[in-house]
Amino acid sequence: MCLVFIYSDLISLLMRLPKAFLDSLVETKGFDRETFEKVHESGEQITSIRINAAKAAMVDGQLAIGDIHYTPFTIHQKIPWTQYGYYLNQRPSFTFDPLFHAGCYYVQEASSMFLEQALKQSVDLSKSIKVLDLCAAPGGKSTHIQSLISKDSLLVSNEVIKSRANILKDNIIKWGCENVVVTNNDPKDFAQLQNYFDVIVVDAPCSGSGLFRKEPGAIDHWSENSVMLCSQRQQRILADVWPALKEDGILIYSTCSYSKEEDEDIVGWMLKELPTSPAGRQVANCQLAIDEDWQIIKSGSSYRFWPDKIKGEGFFISVFRKKERAEENNFRVSKKLNELSKNEIELLRPWCAINDEITFIHGFDGVYAVNKNLLTDINFLHSKLRVAYFGTHLGELMKEKLVPAHSLSMGNLLLTSVPALSLSLDQAIRYLQKKDIDIEKKEKGWQLVCFNNHPLGWVNILPNRINNYYPKELRILKDN
Q: How confident is the model at residue 34 (pLDDT cuts 50, 70, 90)?
A: very high
Please name the amino acid found at residue 360: F
pLDDT above 90: percentage of residues in the chain: 81
Helix/strand/coil for 360? strand
On whether both 219 and 342 belong to a single domain, the answer is no
Nearest alpha carbon to residue 129 among 239, 246, 242: 246
Say how far apart CA 360 and CA 447 lie, in whole Å. Answer: 22
The secondary structure element, H or E, covering residue 59 is: strand 57-59
Domain membership flag for residue 378: yes
Active site residue 256: yes
Say how far apart CA 140 and CA 115 lie, in whole Å. Answer: 11
On whether both 182 and 204 belong to a single domain, the answer is yes
Q: Residue 9: is its pLDDT beyond 60?
A: no
Across the beta sheet with 48-51, what order do the strands follow?
A: 75-78, 85-88, 48-51, 105-107
Mean pLDDT across the chain: 91
Domain membership flag for residue 390: yes
pLDDT above 70: percentage of residues in the chain: 92
Average pLDDT over residues 388-414: 96
Convert the pLDDT of each residue in 265-283 to its tens digit: 999 999 998 865 554 558 8
Q: Are 176 and 103 in contact (CB under 8 A)?
A: yes
Cα four-point dihedral sign 333, 200, 257, 305: negative
On whether both 140 and 270 belong to a single domain, the answer is yes
Total number of domains in the chain: 4
Q: How many residues does the chain have?
A: 480
On whether both 154 and 259 belong to a single domain, the answer is yes
pLDDT score of 443: 81
Q: Are 368 and 393 in contact (CB under 8 A)?
A: yes
On whether both 77 and 163 belong to a single domain, the answer is no
Nearest alpha carbon to residue 298 among 324, 284, 314, 318: 318
- Annotated catalytic residue within 256, 286, 352, 450: 256
Say how far apart CA 5 and CA 17 lie, in whole Å. Answer: 20
On whether both 441 and 309 belong to a single domain, the answer is no
Domain membership flag for residue 327: no
Domain membership flag for residue 189: yes
On whether both 139 and 229 belong to a single domain, the answer is yes
Q: In 60-164, where do the E strands start and end?
A: 62-65, 68-70, 75-78, 85-88, 105-107, 130-133, 154-158
Give the domain-ending residue among 292, 322, 352.
Answer: 322
330-335, long-range: CB < 8 A, 24+ apart: 331/193, 331/196, 331/380, 332/380, 333/376, 333/379, 333/380, 333/383, 334/383, 335/379, 335/382, 335/383
On whether both 222 and 122 belong to a single domain, the answer is yes
On whether both 25 and 11 belong to a single domain, the answer is yes
Give the domain-ending residue among 294, 322, 350.
Answer: 322
Convert the pLDDT of each residue in 35-89 to its tens digit: 999 999 998 999 999 999 999 887 776 776 666 666 777 788 999 999 999 999 8
Q: Residue 413: is its pLDDT beyond 90?
A: yes
- Say if residue 479 is exposed, middle or buried (CB neighbours under 10 Å; 0-12, 13-18, 19+): exposed
On whether both 301 and 192 belong to a single domain, the answer is yes
Nearest alpha carbon to residue 81 among 311, 301, 314: 311
- Cβ-count burial 266-305 (b if 16+ within 10 Å, e if not): bbebbbeebbeeeeeebbeeeebebeeebebbebebbbbb
pTM of the predicted protein model: 0.94
Q: Are 89 and 74 in contact (CB under 8 A)?
A: yes
Domain membership flag for residue 93: yes
Average pLDDT over residues 424-443: 90
pLDDT score of 72: 75
On whether both 230 and 366 belong to a single domain, the answer is no
Can you give the residue range of the structural domain that contains 97? 2-107
- The CATH number of residue 464's host domain is 3.10.450.720
Cα four-point dihedral sign 257, 260, 261, 264: positive
Give the domain-ending residue among 369, 391, 414.
Answer: 414
Q: Residue 152: is its pLDDT beyond 90?
A: yes
Domain membership flag for residue 423: yes
On whether both 154 and 260 belong to a single domain, the answer is yes
Convert the pLDDT of each residue in 155-167 to its tens digit: 999 999 999 999 9
